[in-house]
Amino acid sequence: MNKKICIYVNIILLLWFFLDMVGVNIGTHMLVSKASKEDGIFFIVYIAVLTSFIIKDRIGKYLLGVWLILWFLAQFFSHWYYAIIGASEEKLRYFKDTIKLVKNTDRYIPDLYHIVLHILILLALVCLVLLWIKSRKVNRLDTRKRVNK
């Protein structure tokens, strides 16, 4: 895994997350509602940690990794947790007009936008972990070479 691939995956995630800032409707169905007031600070933080990764990957990869873990946990407890334990009528009503992969009127199952968002967050996190593992191996090899000289 190289840094460019991690950056590309994170930019795709950033672009997908941007849809949440503006809201997108497809026909009569909503892909995602405009939530810039609710999620704007998360968007700004993500841009900041992604920028830190691009500029200074030594510290940036840790900031980005922590952010992606926290973001995924927040998404889990905002969506998948309710899919497991059940959701209130209010939550069911809020997401009733969104595009769904699984149609279900009595149980909350995350909509298309959130399923893709969660997959992209996990993909970005996996890319980052693989990059971190690769960089640790390279650092160990460099250290061994310097010691053996």
| In the chain, where the domains are located | 3-148
Q: Rounded to 5 degrees, what are φ and ψ at 54?
A: -65, -40
Residue 67, pLDDT score:
98
pLDDT in tens, the chain (149 residues): 799 999 999 999 999 999 999 999 999 889 999 999 999 999 999 999 999 999 998 899 999 999 999 999 999 998 888 888 888 888 888 888 899 988 876 788 899 999 999 999 999 999 999 999 988 877 666 666 666 66
Residue 142, token pair as written in the block: 């460099």
CA-to-CA distance for 73 and 71, rounded, in angstroms? 5
pLDDT of residue 142: 61
Do 82 and 121 contact (CB within 8 A), yes or no? no
